[in-house]
C-alpha cells in the first residue's frame, strides 16, 4: 500500500458519502497509525472488514481493562508514597549544610509540585476515558510507575534506618538504582526519538511528559546529593585534613555534581528537546545559589556560589535557544494541528448530516 499522509487521507472525505462511514470506523486506527503506536504494516490498513473491526475492538477492550488495572495499582502505590512523604520525608530530610543543599522550604515546595503532578498522572486514566493514555500505560509504563513510588517511599524511610545503624551508603545506592530504573523503563519509554513528530495530546503532555521530566531531574539531584553527603561525611571523619583544605574539597565536589546535572540537561535538550527537564534544573541551580549565598558563610562558599549561578545562566540560555529553535518538537505541537483538522472534518460531517436530515423531513 502506498504511504498516505493524514492530510491526504482526510482531504478526500466528502460528507454524506460512503467514505464518511469508513472514516468514522477507522479513525481510531488512523490515530494509532500516525502516532506510531501501531506496529502493524501499512498493508493491514488497505481493507478493514467488519470482522477486523470487531477484532480491533476486542483488543482495545482488553487494553482498556489492563490499563484500568495498572491505573488502580498506580493509585494505591501513590497513596502509600504520599502518606510516608508527609509523615517522614518532609519533616526530617535534607536538613544539611553543604554546597549542594537547598532550603528546606524550597524542597517542600518541589515535593508538593511533584506529588501533585503524580496525582494528576494516577487520576487522569481513572477520570477521563483516554484510550491513547491507556496505550501508554500498557505498552510503555506498565507497573514501573508503581515501583518508582515504592522506591521513593523507601527513600523516605532509609535515612531514619541509616541514622540508627550508622550506615550511610544505603541512600546513594537506592537513588542510583532508582535513577537507572526510572530512566530506562519510564523516561526513555515515553520520550520520543523523532524530535516531537509524535502526536501527543494535551492530557498526555501534561500528565506524562511534564511529570516524568520533573521526576527524572529531581531523582538526578537526589542521587548526587545523597552521594555527596557520603563523601562529605567521609572527609569530616578524616581528622588529619585541615579545615580550609577540607572546605575546598567539598566545594570542588559540589561543583562537579552541578556539572553532571548540567551535562544531563544538555543531553536531554539535544536528544529529547526536553525543556521541562532544563527548566527544573534551572530551578535547582537557583535554589543552590540562594542557599549558598544567604544560608551559609559567604567566604566559605564562593566557588559554589559562582558555579551554581553560572550553571543557572547556562541552563536558562540553553532552554531559551531550544524553545525558540525547536518549539514544535519541545511541546509536540504537531498533534494540535492534525487534531484541529480532524475536528473540522468531524464538524463538517455533523453539519452535513443535520442538513440531510433536515431535507428528508421535508
Q: What is the pLDDT of residues 342-361, one digit of tens each?
A: 677 777 788 887 777 777 77
> CA 225, CA 70: separation in Å to the nearest integer?
32
The answer, as to whether pTM is greater than 0.85, is no
pLDDT exceeds 70 at position 21: no
State yes or no: pLDDT of 24 exceeds 70: no
Closest CA to 219 of 257, 247, 255, 179: 179
- If residue 205 lies in a helix (H) or strand (E), which one and from where to where? none
Q: How much of the chain is helix, strand and coil, in % rounded to 5?
A: 80, 0, 20
Cα(25)–Cα(40) distance, integer angstroms:
18
Nearest to 107 by CA among 235, 290, 302, 274: 290
What residues contact residue 254 under an 8 Å CB cut-off, 6+ apart? 98, 99, 100, 228, 303, 304, 307
pLDDT confidence band for 168 (50 / 70 / 90): low
Q: CA dist 186 to 87, 198, 220, Å? A: 27, 17, 14
Q: What is the largest CA-CA distance in the chain?
A: 100
More confident residue, 123 or 282: 282
CB of 287 closer than 8 Å to CB of 324 = no
Rounded distance, CA 227 to CA 172, Å? 5
Q: Where are the domains of the chain?
A: 54-338
Q: Answer whether 251's CB lies under 8 Å from 304's CB.
A: yes
What gap in Å lies between CA 88 and CA 160, rounded to an integer?
9
Q: Looking at 103-117, 177-191, 195-209, 236-250, which range is the least confident one?
A: 195-209
Q: Give the residue from 1, 62, 57 showing the smallest Cα distance to 25.
A: 57
Range ranked top by mean pLDDT from 37-51, 63-77, 110-124, 292-306: 110-124
Provide, rounded to the nearest whole percent, the portion of the chain with pLDDT above 90. 20
Q: What is the pLDDT of residue 164?
A: 44
Highest mean pLDDT (candidates 19-23, 49-53, 91-95, 328-332): 328-332
**What tens digit of pLDDT does each residue of 34-68 get?**
444 444 444 444 455 555 555 666 776 777 778 78
Amino acid at each position: 500500500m502506498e504511504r498516505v499522509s493524514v492530510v491526504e487521507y482526510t482531504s478526500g472525505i466528502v460528507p454524506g458519502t460512503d467514505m464518511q462511514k469508513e472514516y468514522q470506523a477507522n479513525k481510531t486506527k488512523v490515530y494509532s497509525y500516525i502516532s506510531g503506536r501501531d506496529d502493524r504494516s501499512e498493508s493491514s490498513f488497505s481493507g478493514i472488514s467488519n470482522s477486523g473491526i470487531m477484532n480491533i475492538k476486542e483488543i482495545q477492550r482488553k487494553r482498556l481493562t489492563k490499563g484500568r488495572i495498572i491505573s488502580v495499582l498506580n493509585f494505591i502505590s501513590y497513596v502509600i508514597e504520599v502518606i510516608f512523604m508527609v509523615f517522614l520525608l518532609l519533616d526530617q530530610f535534607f536538613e544539611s549544610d553543604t554546597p549542594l543543599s537547598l532550603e528546606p522550604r524550597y524542597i517542600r515546595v518541589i515535593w508538593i509540585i511533584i506529588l501533585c503532578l503524580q496525582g494528576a498522572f494516577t487520576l487522569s486514566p481513572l477520570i477521563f476515558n483516554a484510550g491513547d493514555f491507556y496505550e501508554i500505560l500498557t505498552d510503555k509504563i506498565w507497573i514501573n510507575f508503581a515501583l518508582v513510588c515504592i522506591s521513593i517511599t523507601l527513600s523516605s524511610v532509609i535515612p531514619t534506618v541509616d541514622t540508627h545503624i550508622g550506615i550511610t551508603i544505603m541512600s546513594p545506592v537506592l537513588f542510583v538504582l532508582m535513577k537507572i530504573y526510572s530512566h530506562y523503563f519510564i523516561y526513555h519509554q515515553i520520550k520520543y526519538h523523532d524530535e516531537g513528530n509524535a502526536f501527543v495530546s494535551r492530557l498526555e503532555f501534561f500528565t506524562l511528559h511534564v511529570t516524568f521530566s520533573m521526576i527524572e531531574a529531581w531523582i538526578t539531584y537526589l542521587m548526587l546529593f545523597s552521594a555527596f553527603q557520603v563523601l562529605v561525611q567521609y572527609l569530616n571523619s578524616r581528622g588529619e585534613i585541615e579545615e580550609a583544605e577540607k572546605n575546598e574539597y567539598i566545594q570542588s565536589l559540589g561543583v562537579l555534581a552541578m556539572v553532571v546535572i548540567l551535562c544531563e540537561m544538555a543531553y536531554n535538550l539535544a536528544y529529547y528537546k526536553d525543556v521541562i527537564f532544563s527548566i527544573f534544573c534551572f530551578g535547582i541551580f537557583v535554589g543552590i545559589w540562594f542557599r549558598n549565598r544567604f544560608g551559609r558563610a559567604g567566604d566559605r562558599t564562593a566557588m559554589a556560589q559562582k558555579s551554581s549561578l553560572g550553571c543557572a545562566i547556562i541552563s536558562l540560555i540553553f532552554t531559551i535557544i531550544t524553545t525558540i529553535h525547536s518549539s514544535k518538537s519541545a511541546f509536540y505541537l504537531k498533534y494540535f494541528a492534525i487534531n484541529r483538522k480532524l475536528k473540522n472534518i468531524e464538524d463538517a460531517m455533523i453539519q452535513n448530516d443535520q442538513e440531510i436530515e433536515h431535507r428528508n423531513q421535508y
